[in-house]
Amino acid sequence: MKKIMLLFLGLLLGLVAWKLWDTTVLLNKQVVSKFEGARWELPARIYARPLDLYVGRPLQVDHLEQELKLLGYRVAADGQLDRAGTYRINGNRVIIHCRSFTFSDGKQEAMLIDLVFAENQIVALEDHNNAQSLPFFKLEPLHIASIYPGDNEDRLLLHIKETPELLIKTLLLVEDKSFYHHWGVRPLAILRALMANLKAGKTVQGGSTLTQQLVKNFFLTNKRSLQRKAKEAIMALLLEYHYSKDDILEAYLNEIYMGQDGKRAIHGFAMAARFYFGRKIDELSAQQIALLVGLSKGASYYNPRKHPQRAKARRDRILHDMADEGLLTAATAEYLQKKPLGVLERVPSGITRYPAFIGLVRQQLKRDYKDTELSSKGLTVFTTFDPVVQEAAETALSSVLSSLEKERKMSPETLQGAVVVSSVDQGEVLAVVGDRFSRQAGFNRALAMQRPLGSVIKPVVYLAALAHPEQYNLLTLLEDTPLTVPIPGTRPWAPKNYDKKFHGRIPLMQALVHSYNVATVRLGLALGLDQTLDTLQHLGISKEIPAYPSLLLGAIELPPIDVLQMYQAIAAGGYKSTLRAILAVTNQQNQLLQRYPLTVEQAMPTEAVFCLNRALREVTRSGTAASLQRRLPHGMSVAGKTGTTDDLRDSWFAGFSGSHVAVAWVGRDDNHSTGLTGASGALRVWAKTMAALTMTPLDDQPPENVDLYRAILEAGTLVDNSCPRGELLPFIRGGVLPPLSFCDAPPPQQRQGQQRRHRATSGFEKALQEGLNQLLRIFQ
């Protein structure tokens, strides 16, 4: 009987041992596969453009300070710049202790730089420590959005070598003093905790090592049971067997739960530093480190925003322990205990402040990346976003719409709007505003709204004409007289001017400057509608547009972003750069995955565009946009065009300086009349946006094949250089020229009997008739 009992006991122990071994094998596979694979789904992080600093760059001191504040830089206390993320301004001199940052082309170390400004321009850039000149420096970009994984966990990966020594020592002091000496579990500590808890009748002490805490958070659930506790101990031992202490500690630093922001869970010390203090981990002070270490015991219970007294008591206790351990002096600890918690009052939301721009970024990213790659692979996306330009556009749209509503006694929030801004030469989208409430994610009017263009399209018609210098120039005489266009199957179309008048024979430039509809339609029909449609396509409009005569007056619907593309090509002298919002994408290891290079193609002849832009510049001086003269800084030359649609439903303005091109739209979502023209609505938004920027004026230098002649604009003729009335206008070399007249020549409508007519005008009526006949053939 005794032998049977021993045999049974042996079998039972063998079964338990086999089961334990089998469980250990399974747990070992789980530990190795998860810990050696992609440990976390990491969100994609989207950044603005870096601010390039170099001698000669146009930049205002207040714009630089605005960007520094957005980046979380602080004015140096007592002028001391010993910590990265601080700056000091003294008149026209700025000293910045710049943070380190890993760009798409490599890492730039933290550095003290010294800048000197004069007349809104950088005139000196030096290394502050040795006074050596720097040819170039990049200020780190602003983080503007993240694309989160399905579990909504947000973390910034922190490597053990980048972790402040004081943080590591404080964490181990509080959570696991013998971390570097045990094998993952401490049996005596577990027994002590068990006895204390039994004696108290509740949980008052924990016996888990830091390794066990990692196992619980990373591999297991929070469900309490003996089976789970056994698994935790086995997995802790396995983790210690396979991996180094530094690997385990690094994983803990990144895995630990540190707080909640709505649906977004904050994990890891690096993200917690941003979440609570708006700082990088290496910028934390001792009392801030103590607070974060205290949160690791229970982020909800010690939440400093909800339970500040509880959090402060915990922080102060840790500061006391740090002094006892010799990490701080007793005097320093006592001094720091008197300080407030210092957490950001406003929670840094995981929701982007710039939803309209991020909408454009995501559109472009989807061409190359799947949604799962964007939300889990830890990609870094560098964009063209300019926070200073964005802030200017947002402020302009919001304030101008409010002013318009008050001036016209509209109900608040009646009007809506959109603004888009890009660089001229490179087509980099700098700002996108799709709603007057710019933080509000929803319908993005800048990208998704299709609205009639009105007269914003007219430069396309005139550019199509000027591209034929053998027939047209800026002084070609056009007829602004009654016109009836037959449309088979419906009533004839009789276009009218906005002022309800006809203006007789007028120079082409004047027709554009004053936005005369009838003259524009006559010109477009004489050219043929296909010429305007081809020019639209060359300027970047890929949408299929039906060939109706009304398109000449903007009866086509496009979103503001497409209008921006069109005007970018015009602003850049006929060279179209496909609008881009992304510069580069890197992976989790900071390796470059893809660059989004500048693409440039000549869309239209440079000479014709230069002549057109001279007319668009006159629009802002004496034409429909003349009010810009009092809304922009003195001497700032710009060019552009107003646009107004039927019943004053849409108000547009599109225009450019030498450096920036922008489009503004104002209207109503219910499509009712706004009572606003392009000049009284959108122009004001555009002007307020551009006036806030550091811009360069338009370039007056003509292309090689363009000559300047003195002309009398109202008369439509050239005059001798000695004429005091004339002004210089560009004409394409080898093209048709206007007639030469005396300085006091009468305007064209008073010269009915003159024999010397414009050489290009003689065939104009014939071309118009041919255009009408072609139109009839299209509709038949």
Contact 100/110 with Cβ under 8 angstroms?
yes
Angle at 416 between CA 415 and CA 422, to 5 degrees: 140
Contact 172/293 with Cβ under 8 angstroms?
no
Q: What share of the chain is helix, strand, coil (3-state, %, to 5)?
A: 40, 20, 40
Tokens 């039927």 locate to: 646
Query: What are the E-state strand segments in 515-659?
Result: 557-558, 575-577, 582-586, 592-595, 600-602, 639-644, 651-656
DSSP 333: H
N- to C-terminal Cα separation, the chain: 112
Both tokens of 313, joined, read 């008591």
Question: Phi-psi bin for 740: left (phi > 0), alpha (psi -120 to 50), beta?
Answer: beta
Q: Which residues are catalytic?
A: 175, 455
Q: How many angstroms separate the CA atoms of 568 and 148, rounded?
A: 33
Residues in Cβ contact with 37 at an 8 Å cutoff, skipping those fewer than 6 apart: none
Of 507, 527, 526, which Cα lies nearest the Cα of 464?
A: 527
Strands lying side by side in the sheet with 257-261: 153-154, 264-267, 257-261
Burial 279-316 (b: 16+ CB within 10 A, else e): bbbbbbebbbbbbbbbbbeebeebbbeeeeeebbebbb
Residues in Cβ contact with 86 at an 8 Å cutoff, skipping those fewer than 6 apart: 73, 74, 75, 76, 77, 80, 96, 97
Contact 451/683 with Cβ under 8 angstroms?
no
* Residue 631: φ, ψ to 5°: -105, -10
Q: How many angstroms separate the CA atoms of 270 and 279, rounded?
A: 9
Indicate the helix (H) or strand (E) that contains 125. strand 122-127
Q: Give the distance, in angstroms, between the CA of residue 385 and the centroid of all CA atoms in the same chain.
A: 3
User: C-alpha distances in angstroms, 177 versus 160, 168, 209, 325, 689?
Assistant: 18, 11, 9, 11, 58
3-state secondary structure labels for all residues of 90-124: ECCEEEEEECCEEECCEEECCEEEEEEECCCEEEE
Q: How many angstroms separate the CA atoms of 144 and 464, rounded?
A: 41
Both tokens of 344, joined, read 């950001």
Report strand pairing: 74-75 vs 86-90. parallel
DSSP string computed for 172-231: HHHH-TTTTTSSS--HHHHHHHHHHHHHHTS-------HHHHHHHHHTS-S---HHHHHH
Q: How many angstroms separate the CA atoms of 283 and 458, rounded?
A: 55
Q: How many angstroms separate the CA atoms of 522 and 377, rounded?
A: 57
